Structure formats: structure tokens, C-alpha cells
Amino acid sequence: MKQLFHKAKEASRTLMLLTDEQRNEVLRKIADRAEVEADKLLAANTLDLQKLEPSDPLYDRLLLTKERIQGIAGDLRNVAKLPSPLGIISKERTLANGLYLRRISVPFGVIGVIFEARPNVCFDVFSLCFKSGNACLLKGSHSAEESNRAIVNLIHEVLQDAGICVDALTLLPPTHEATAELLGAVGYVDLCIPRGGRKLIDFVRDNARVPVIETGAGVVHAYFDKDGDLEKGKCIIANAKMRRVSVCNALDCLLVHHDRTDDIPALLAPMDGRVEIVTDEATMGTEWMDYKLSLKVVDSLDEALAHIARYGSGHSECIITEDKATATRFQQMVDAACVYVNAPTSFTDGAQFGLGAEIGISTQKLGPRGPMALEEMTTYKWLINGNGQVRE
């Protein structure tokens, strides 16, 4: 395994020398080949699917179809169209002694991503890592092994044709040992991103010795304030809860100011009885991923803030209010990646935010926070150019 890490590190050193156009060309060729060789990918996918019952919820997440492959190819072509996140100078100054300093964006180097099911993640992660000059190590799940291997083989063929080291993308075995080795690979892995449920994320955070970005877990609140507009509240709550219940930005808990208790039936009406309302205090802080919604009446903005501070996961939080001071205080006090006023948390998404893509939603504060796309896959270094100056 160490040898795979070492090769990825070596590859990362050559990747930073490619031009953006070379990278884009590779992404477009992968898109083309994925469409041309769709049957190969589907055949591999069938081998994975045969191990499941069609009624298994995993089945749909694992499933590839011609249409889904076309969607993947479209995403690859979109990433190729995005501006390069590399070489951006975020600070530039000349010191009194003539030293010229620049702070410039560069790739991390090697990024490890641990993910569950969904073979399209191989394409997504590779495209964002490659476009941002990073090598990547993918650790997928056993259930998607055949699909993942077919996808990685296809990408390797394109890399080889382009004369680029195939170690730019490495598929690790779908084993716990691979996860453990990846998390301990200090000096080889510059960043590790777990994409999956709470259990995976907790395991990675508790065991990693390499830097980690926690993603995805969203215990999401909406607070309907005493000065909330009822019509806006109805739209926002229904959209945040119902658009897709299985995503991390979906609403989990509605807090309502006690002056507006009478409006609760109207607020819930657009959901048409399809959502189970849960008022049991013990369930607060649950990420439902389902047609369920916690509901609590609070006495004040401060009680709402305290509730969110206690139970929120720092993902996305929302207030519905027409009072500007209340809105400002909510946005100031809530410690989360995305804090909304009069809009649903459903918008927490890289593409929606105009980032052009998304590799995940960071819920931590060190490094990128919120939706991550290309810029968030870079770090920076300082370049200092002198002419023999010395320090006193």
C-alpha cells in the first residue's frame, strides 16, 4: 500500500506541470470515452447490481444507466470549462527592502477520498482533483467494486494515451485496511475527505493522522421568527424539507416563536401531511434523511440560537423573519457554514453557489467551509524573490 501512496506522491509532482488546457483535454476525452464505452461500464455495473436485491435502497444509488453516463460526461465537460483554480495570486507586496512576495494558489498534492456506493463519485472526484492539479487516492465500497474498477480503467486508458502518469488516480482495495493505511499516510496524503454517513465521518476524524475535512453531516434548522412572513415561511419550509429528503441540506427541525404557535398548521400545510412531525425532545439533533421533521416552540430568538448551537452540525441554518435586526443577529450568532435569511437551506450546493461543481460540503472550520469545488481543492504557498537581501 505504501508503494501506491509513494507513486501517487510522485505523480502529483508531475501533475502540477501540466497546463490547464492539457488537463481540460484529458477531461473531455474521458467524457467522450465514457459515452463510447458505456456498455463496458454498464456490464461492470451489472456485476455489482447482481449482488443486490432491486428493492435494496443501495440498488438505485449504485445503478448506472446510459442516461446517467451521459450526465456524468456532461459534468466532466463542464469541469473542463471552468477557470483553473491554480496560480491565483491572493496577496502580492514588495517590502521596503525590495523583496517581492506573492501568495499563490497551488495543488494540495495527494487527496484521499473515502466514499460509499455511487460509482459516479469516481468521475466527480477525479475531475475536480485533476483539474486542480492533485493526484487522488480513491477508496470506494465493496458493493461498487466492479463499477469503480471499470471507471478507473477507462480513466487510466485516457491518461496513458495522453502520456500522463496513471498514478494520478489510484483505486485502493475496498477494505478496512486500505482505509486505515490511508488515514495514517503522513507525508504521502496531504488531505483526506470522507464522503458518507455520520459513522464513516466520525471514524475518519477519530483515526486520521493526516489532515481531514469533515463533510456532509447536516442537522439543519429553520427558525420561524415572531416577525416571520407566513407565505415565505410556507414555501421555504416545504422546499427545505421536501425537495429531497435524503440530502444533507434537507430540513431536520423547525423552531417556531411562541407568538406564532397558531400559524404552525398553516406553515406545515404545503407538505400535505406527507411529513411526520416529531416533538419528542429526545429526537432533537436527529438528521432524519426521511419524511420526518422535529418541531419545537421557542420563547425567543435567543432560545432558538441556543437550540441551534446545541443541536446543529454547523452545516446550514435558516431564519424566516421580516425584522432586519433579528436577521442580522441570527447571521452573526449562528456558527454554521451557510446561514440563510428568508431562503431555504436547499441552496447549499456548489453548483447553486456558482462554484461550477461540488466535491462535498465541509462542516469544519479549518480549511474550506461549506460547498467545496475547485478553489477548495487548492492550498497556497509564498514565493519570495530577492536580490541578495539579508535580514538584520
Question: Could you say which of 84, 232, 271, 295 contacts a copy of itself (CB under 8 A)?
Answer: 232
| Rounded distance between C-alpha atoms, residue 88 and residue 340, angstroms | 29
Question: Could you say which of 81, 142, 198, 209 contacts a copy of itself (CB under 8 A)?
Answer: 209
Q: Does 339 bind a copy of itself (CB under 8 A)?
A: yes
- Binding residues with a copy of itself: total (CB under 8 A): 67
299: left (phi over 0), alpha (psi -120 to 50) or beta: alpha
Q: Minimum distance between the CB of residue 77 and a copy of itself, rounded to whole angstroms?
A: 21
Q: Minimum distance between the CB of residue 181 and a copy of itself, rounded to whole angstroms?
A: 15
Q: Does 47 bind a copy of itself (CB under 8 A)?
A: no
Site for a copy of itself in 140-179 (CB under 8 A): none
Question: Could you say which of 1, 52, 88, 99 contacts a copy of itself (CB under 8 A)?
Answer: 99
Structure-block grid coordinates of residue 209 = 493522522
Selection from 337, 275, 349, 280 nearest residue 308 by Cα: 337
Selection from 28, 192, 18, 32 nearest residue 110 by Cα: 192
Q: Does 286 bind a copy of itself (CB under 8 A)?
A: no
Kindly indicate which of the ranges 42-50, 152-160, 231-239, 281-289 contains the residues binding a copy of itself, using the contact rule CB under 8 A: 231-239
Q: Which residues contact 280 (CB under 8 A, 6 or more apart)?
A: none
Q: Does 363 bind a copy of itself (CB under 8 A)?
A: no
What are the helix (H) ranges across the chain?
A: 2-15, 20-36, 38-49, 57-62, 66-81, 120-131, 145-161, 176-183, 198-207, 230-242, 264-268, 301-311, 324-333
Measured from the CB atom, is 166 or 333 closer to a copy of itself?
Answer: 333
What sign for the dihedral angle of Cα 356, 357, 360, 366? negative
Question: Could you say which of 5, 108, 188, 223 contacts a copy of itself (CB under 8 A)?
Answer: 108
Q: Does 388 bind a copy of itself (CB under 8 A)?
A: yes
Measured from the CB atom, is 205 or 292 closer to a copy of itself?
Answer: 205
| Rounded distance between C-alpha atoms, residue 211 and residue 218, angstroms | 21
CA-based Rg of the chain, rounded to a whole angstrom? Answer: 23
Site for a copy of itself in 66-95 (CB under 8 A): 93, 95
Selection from 307, 231, 241 nearest residue 263 by Cα: 231
Q: Minimum distance between the CB of residue 325 and a copy of itself, rounded to whole angstroms?
A: 13
Question: Could you say which of 5, 151, 370, 372 contacts a copy of itself (CB under 8 A)?
Answer: 370
| Rounded distance between C-alpha atoms, residue 33 and residue 229, angstroms | 51
Which residues contact a copy of itself (rule: CB under 8 A)? 13, 16-17, 93, 95, 99, 101, 103, 106, 108-109, 186, 190-191, 205-206, 209, 211-213, 229, 231-232, 235-236, 238-239, 243, 309, 327, 331-333, 335-344, 346-347, 352-354, 364-367, 369-370, 379-391
